Amino acid sequence: MSAVAGSLVLVPNTLDLGTEAAVALPEVLPQAVIERAARLTHWVVENAKSARAFLKRVDALVPLAQPLQTLSIVELPRPRKGASEQDDAPALRALLAPAVSGHDIGLLSEAGLPAVADPGARLVQVAHGLGLRVEPMSGPSALLLALSASGLNGQSFAFVGYLPVDAGARAARIRELDTLSRRSSQTQIAIETPYRNAALLAALVQHLQPGTQLSVACGLTLPDGWCRTMPVQAWRTTACTLPDRYPAVFCWLA
């Protein structure tokens, strides 16, 4: 690889996607991230519209190196059904061509850190295959903020992503993860599409053991964000409203 190759820069985003709260960037992003984002001219993003909205917020604090309309902003390809992981390599290598020829490329998700509970990991993997430098920048991860605020075991934990939507399969998976947590003292972390958060909470409260500690974090880093940890039996007698547009993270330890 040429010594002048660019980096793939992993740029964190705020956690206010889809909510009415507009968090000021300096609430959650280091100044160095805002400045670096303002200098990047090539982007690969989860969603072009939200990426432009992010860059407008950056521009209001640190003027962009060149006008927004002239930046290269390309969306990550959506995984095709039935395609093997390797099939996307040529398309991803093409997205990284500007880095090979010397331009730093920013990778941006709609919220939080790229490639964690979000698309982009395959692009990062292909970047490593090309010998490109991959540079992650400090920013908010809803998963880890929720874990740290939960008070549950932070020495051993697993992120299990989304649980099944089907009620029967979901109940079985919750019981399985409760057992796994008990056996290995491992905190389990799950997320859900916001409009299904209340349903997931109800399922967790119903199917986890009464003594399991359950933590719900809602809208962390937002002005009215909160986190609450109680045994499941206490959740069973507590009225709790989860707003259907706020991101939430669920952690439990049996």
Binding site for a second copy (CB under 8 A): 10, 24, 26-32, 113-118, 120-128, 133-141, 143-161, 186, 213, 215, 220-221, 226-230
Q: Closest separation between CB of residue 70 and a second copy, Å?
A: 28
Q: Closest separation between CB of residue 64 and a second copy, Å?
A: 19
Q: Closest separation between CB of residue 164 and a second copy, Å?
A: 14
CB 57 within 8 A of CB 25: yes
Coil, strand or helix at 183: helix
| Whole-angstrom distance, CA of residue 153 vs CA of residue 251 | 10
Q: How far is CA 211 from CA 94, 116, 178, in A?
A: 52, 30, 11
Complex with a second copy: residue 63 or 154, whichever CB lies closer: 154
Q: Closest separation between CB of residue 100 and a second copy, Å?
A: 16
| Whole-angstrom distance, CA of residue 88 vs CA of residue 60 | 36
Q: Closest separation between CB of residue 42 and a second copy, Å?
A: 18
Complex with a second copy: residue 68 or 77, whichever CB lies closer: 77
Count of other CB atoms within 10 angstroms of residue 44: 26
φ and ψ of 56, to 5 deg: -65, -40
Tokens representing 227?
């986190």
| Whole-angstrom distance, CA of residue 35 vs CA of residue 63 | 9
Question: Strand runs (DSSP E) across 130-240, as ranges?
Answer: 133-136, 157-162, 187-191, 213-218, 226-231
Complex with a second copy: residue 166 or 224, whichever CB lies closer: 224
Residue linked to tokens 């909470």: 201
Q: Closest separation between CB of residue 67 and a second copy, Å?
A: 26
Complex with a second copy: residue 57 or 133, whichever CB lies closer: 133
Complex with a second copy: residue 70 or 81, whichever CB lies closer: 81
Complex with a second copy: residue 18 or 131, whichever CB lies closer: 131
